[in-house]
Amino acid sequence: MDKVSRYLVVSDRTYADPGGGMPVRLLYGTRTAHTMVVDPATADALARRDADAVPTAWRQPLREQRILVPAGEDERGAVLDRNRRASADRSAVHIALLPTSYCNMGCTYCGQRHTRGGLGRDHRDRVRDRVLRAIAAPTTRSLRLDWFGAEPMAGYAVIRSLAPQFVAAATEHDVSYTSVLVTNGSLLTVAKMLTLVRDCGVTHFEITLDGPAAVHDRHRPLKNGRNSFRHIVDTVKAALDTPGCTTHVNFRTNVDAENQESIPEYLETMAGEGFARADVSFTLAAVHSWGNDVSSVELPGKAFAERELEWLRLLQDHALNAQLLPHTPKRVVCPAVTTSAEIISSTGNVFSCSEYPLVEEAEQHRALIRLDQLGPEPGRPLGPFDGWHDDIANGRSWCTDCVFMPTCGGSCPKAWHEGHPPCPAYKFNIQGRFDLLARRCGLEPVAATPAPEGAR
């Protein structure tokens, strides 16, 4: 006996190929993050939550995507148990390192406190030993190593020194190695990008550009008074065009009240620069508090979501890659919910939450432990958000009854604890995203069919 999953969104609209093709509607099953196309009658039955009315031929594929589930299943419990298992998994280790406390930018919305000065030799050695022990642990099968800031490229010498040792150790122990560099991009050069990819194992660059040149350079000023947009764009373009530079770059834009009007020009610029390519993607994210007060420029979630649809459409028009809907469920929402992940600050403090390092109050009061006090065993001490799955189960956030909980995972436990629901934009504009997804597939809307309450 089947029931229709509570974790299903059905498109309000019906779509068809141009010229009056067969009408279809879209399904998004959030337990598997899979989008399906079905005939309108089947979509109607699912939207009515009438599993008996679903044609027999559809049942098996719908079961595979957890859109039809056993009638007696506690779905929320099943999803949270899946997430708990993923959080308890010791085989996937995630370590984020801050190789410096300094940043050469002075962004208006930044909540970190940056100071000059390199890492002490002892600290560097302790970081190296900690990561090498994690790689060598018998339970470890994969390591994700993030270089995080402040501006990690201000600590390039540290990366250059440590990362090749990590890559070699991972190879020796047959551990899968991925590495993300989160950078403002201003200190990158083509030669350094190539070294980072070839010798330091960097598989993903996360680079922030906050608008077209004039806006970016005002929004993210360098402390020496110079501009960075042109340098970043030229460097990334040249590096990606270099043979052997096999990596992925995501350009992130932090959007607030001050740069939102410039997004269309920015996207047009980036398309003109040739970034409509498979190894480049784009993310637009609303500026949010990072332990600081950004209320004067922050865009409320729903307001951002409304504007975002226009920008997603422009991304599509320019053939720039952007994710319309998550295509993997979020089992581990962030490092704060698994003791297999840890963030080692340049100060020597160890955190579970990536928003704590270099934030003055957090550095003083919220460190889990000092790096030099950690024992030889892998894993960090419990942090403030390791009970997050229980918080959801016990109704301590709106996630408890949210249709998107399996793909979002709650987004940011810290934000919930601070009373700022961090819901993703797609919660507010999923129907518009269906329209864009249909459009990407060459479909046109043919009618609006409101879905019943609860199916959205």
Partner 1 sequence: MSQEALDALRSAGTPVDLLSDSEREIFSSLSPDEVSVLTSIQGRLNEAAAAVQGQVADNNVNTLC
Instruction: Specify the stretch interacting with partner 1 by CB under 8 A; choose among 36-44, 224-232, 259-267, 445-453.
Output: 36-44
Minimum CB separation of residue 369 from partner 1 in Å reads: 21
Q: Is 39 in the site for partner 1 (CB under 8 A)?
A: yes
Query: Which residue in 85, 223, 327, 420 binds partner 1 (CB under 8 A)?
Result: 327
- DSSP β-bridge partners for residue 339: none
Token code pair at residue 449: 């069919």
Q: Is 355 in the site for partner 1 (CB under 8 A)?
A: yes
d(CA 456, CA 447): 17
Q: Output b/e per residue, 276-289; b: 16+ Cβ within 10 A.
A: eeeebbbebebbbb
Three-state DSSP at 14 gives strand
Query: Which residue in 49, 290, 309, 417 binds partner 1 (CB under 8 A)?
Result: 290
* CB of 406 closer than 8 Å to CB of 390: no
Q: Is 17 in the site for partner 1 (CB under 8 A)?
A: yes
- State the residue for tokens 């403002």: 184
**Please, which of residues 375-414 interact with partner 1 by CB under 8 A?**
412
Q: Is 204 in the site for partner 1 (CB under 8 A)?
A: yes
Minimum CB separation of residue 454 from partner 1 in Å reads: 24
Instruction: Specify the stretch interacting with partner 1 by CB under 8 A; choose among 50-58, 67-75, 295-303, 391-399.
Output: 50-58
Three-state DSSP at 278 gives coil
Query: Which residue in 123, 330, 427, 433 binds partner 1 (CB under 8 A)?
Result: 330
d(CA 253, CA 86): 30
Q: Is 441 in the site for partner 1 (CB under 8 A)?
A: yes
Query: Which residue in 57, 224, 300, 365 binds partner 1 (CB under 8 A)?
Result: 57
Instruction: Indicate the residue among 1 and 22 with the shorter CB distance to partner 1.
Output: 22
Instruction: Specify the stretch interacting with partner 1 by CB under 8 A; choose among 77-85, 117-125, 133-141, 147-155.
Output: 147-155
Peptide bond preceding 448 in cis form (omega within 30 of 0): no
Query: Which residue in 331, 366, 380, 427 binds partner 1 (CB under 8 A)?
Result: 331
**Please, which of residues 81-140 interact with partner 1 by CB under 8 A?**
103, 105, 107, 110-112
Q: Rounded to whole angstroms, what are the CA distances from 362 to 111, 117, 290, 413?
A: 11, 20, 11, 15
Instruction: Specify the stretch interacting with partner 1 by CB under 8 A; choose among 30-38, 158-166, 396-404, 447-455.
Output: 30-38
d(CA 299, CA 287): 7
# of chain residues touching partner 1 (CB under 8 A): 67
- Print the binding letters for residues 260-289 with partner 1: x by CB under 8 A, - otherwise: ------------------xx-x--------
Q: Is 211 in the site for partner 1 (CB under 8 A)?
A: no
Q: Is 184 in the site for partner 1 (CB under 8 A)?
A: yes
* CB of 202 closer than 8 Å to CB of 97: no
Query: Which residue in 161, 165, 321, 400 binds partner 1 (CB under 8 A)?
Result: 321
Peptide bond preceding 136 in cis form (omega within 30 of 0): no
* CB of 309 closer than 8 Å to CB of 64: no
Q: Is 252 in the site for partner 1 (CB under 8 A)?
A: yes
Half-sphere exposure of residue 286: CA atoms within 13 angstroms, side-chain side: 24
User: Which residues are CB-neighbours of 114 under 8 A, at least 6 positions away?
Assistant: 101, 102, 103, 150, 358
d(CA 230, CA 238): 12
d(CA 101, CA 47): 52
Rounded to the nearest angstrom, the gap between the alpha carbon of residue 75 and the centroid of all alpha carbons in its chain is 24
Minimum CB separation of residue 409 from partner 1 in Å reads: 8
Task: Count each helix (H run) and each strand (E run) in the chain, helices first.
Answer: 15, 16
| C-alpha closest to that of 182 among 326, 285, 308 | 285
Minimum CB separation of residue 149 from partner 1 in Å reads: 4
Q: Is 342 in the site for partner 1 (CB under 8 A)?
A: no
* Residues in touch with partner 1 (CB under 8 A): 17, 21-22, 24, 26, 34-39, 55-58, 60-61, 64, 103, 105, 107, 110-112, 146, 148-152, 178, 180, 182-184, 203-204, 206, 208, 247-248, 250, 252, 278-279, 281, 290, 321, 323-325, 327-328, 330-335, 354-355, 412, 437, 440-443
